[in-house]
């Protein structure tokens, strides 16, 4: 999330175990005088990722399975934070003009990565417009700014989330009421979240000027659910109750 905020780049794992890079990027990395310094020996993976972002190189991510703990990983949280934050702040210090200037977000496609937001429908009642689902958001993911036509009840089952527009955090065991007309952006905590939402009517996605840019309701969720079942050759459940 830090990389997203500072550099406009949504890299899912800034400390990957495996890198592959072009000769051009390899030459760019070797030409920098860091290999005899602290950041060349510790936090190297993050530094390689940051260098590719700062150079606005074309990037691609692939999920290769659960990451094993590195043999030379810091022994405690303080050391790990110092290493990560140290590399990040060193980079910000030496590249101020790059990250502080306006630039287009750097799109980094990901093969095999879990989607940032996934829904498991529990109820899709097309007669009343009531619908319910388990909403799973990965760490750092978000549900874009939206407006609720009707009220929504949320029960937090795992993890945490918050609204970018408010100053409280929803945690497991909490019930959240989103009143009609509320506008908010749901931001997941670092550990991700699973929340049960019960909705009625539509939610309208809006931009910063409150222009409607999309919507979700029971009808388009029913279509998406049936399309998914068809693509997986599975029989859809009868959720229209």
99 or 205, CB closer to Fe ion?
205
94 or 220, CB closer to Fe ion?
220
End-to-end C-alpha distance for the chain, whole angstroms: 39
Query: Smallest distance from the beta carbon of 91 to Fe ion, in angstroms?
Result: 35
Query: With DSSP H G I counted as helix, E B as strand and the rest as coil, what are the percentages for the chain, rounded to 5?
Result: 25, 30, 40
Question: Which residue is nearest to Fe ion, using beta carbons?
Answer: 178
Contact map string, positions 178 to 197, toward Fe ion, x by CB under 5 A:
x-------------------
How far, CA to CA in Å, does 161 sit from each of 18, 23, 71, 143? 31, 41, 32, 10
Length of the chain: 241
Secondary structure element (H or E) that encloses residue 160, with its range: strand 152-163
Contact map string, positions 51 to 90, toward Fe ion, x by CB under 5 A:
----------------------------------------
Query: Smallest distance from the beta carbon of 152 to Fe ion, in angstroms?
Result: 6
Query: Smallest distance from the beta carbon of 36 to Fe ion, in angstroms?
Result: 51
Query: Smallest distance from the beta carbon of 166 to Fe ion, in angstroms?
Result: 11
Helices 44-54, 23-30: inter-axial angle, 10-degree rounding: 110
Number of neighbouring beta carbons within 10 Å of residue 234: 9
Contact map string, positions 144 to 183, toward Fe ion, x by CB under 5 A:
----------------------------------x-----
Site size toward Fe ion, by CB under 5 A = 1
182 or 240, CB closer to Fe ion?
182
Cα 135 to Cα 186: distance, rounded to the nearest angstrom = 11
23 or 179, CB closer to Fe ion?
179
83 or 178, CB closer to Fe ion?
178
Cα 186 to Cα 137: distance, rounded to the nearest angstrom = 9
26 or 181, CB closer to Fe ion?
181
Contacts of 65 (CB under 8 A, 6+ apart): none
Query: Smallest distance from the beta carbon of 148 to Fe ion, in angstroms?
Result: 6
Distance of CA 180 to the CA centre of its chain: 26
Give the residues lining the site for Fe ion (CB under 5 A).
Answer: 178
């Amino acid at each position: 999330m830090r990389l997203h905020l500072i550099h406009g780049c949504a890299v899912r794992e800034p400390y990957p175990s495996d890198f592959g890079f072009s000769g051009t990027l390899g030459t760019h990395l070797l030409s920098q005088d860091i290999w005899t310094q602290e950041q060349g020996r510790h936090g190297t993976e993050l530094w390689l990722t940051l260098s590719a972002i700062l150079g606005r190189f074309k990037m691609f991510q692939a999920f290769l399975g659960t990451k094993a703990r590195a043999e030379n990983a810091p022994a405690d949280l303080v050391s790990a934070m110092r290493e990560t934050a140290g590399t990040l702040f060193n980079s910000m210090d030496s590249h101020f003009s790059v990250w502080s200037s306006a630039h287009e977000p750097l799109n980094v496609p990901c093969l095999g990565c879990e989607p940032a937001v996934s829904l498991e429908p529990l109820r899709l009642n097309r007669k009343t417009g009531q619908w319910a689902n388990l909403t799973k958001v990965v760490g750092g993911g978000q549900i874009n700014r939206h407006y609720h036509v009707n009220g929504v009840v949320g029960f937090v089952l795992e993890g945490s989330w918050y609204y970018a527009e408010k100053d409280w955090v929803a945690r497991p065991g909490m019930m959240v009421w989103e009143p009609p007309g509320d506008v908010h952006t749901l931001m997941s905590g670092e550990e991700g979240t699973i929340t049960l939402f019960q909705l009625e009517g539509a939610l309208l996605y809006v931009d910063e000027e409150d222009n409607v840019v999309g919507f979700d309701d029971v009808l388009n969720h029913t279509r998406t659910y049936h399309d998914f079942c068809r693509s997986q050759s599975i029989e859809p459940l009868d959720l229209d109750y």
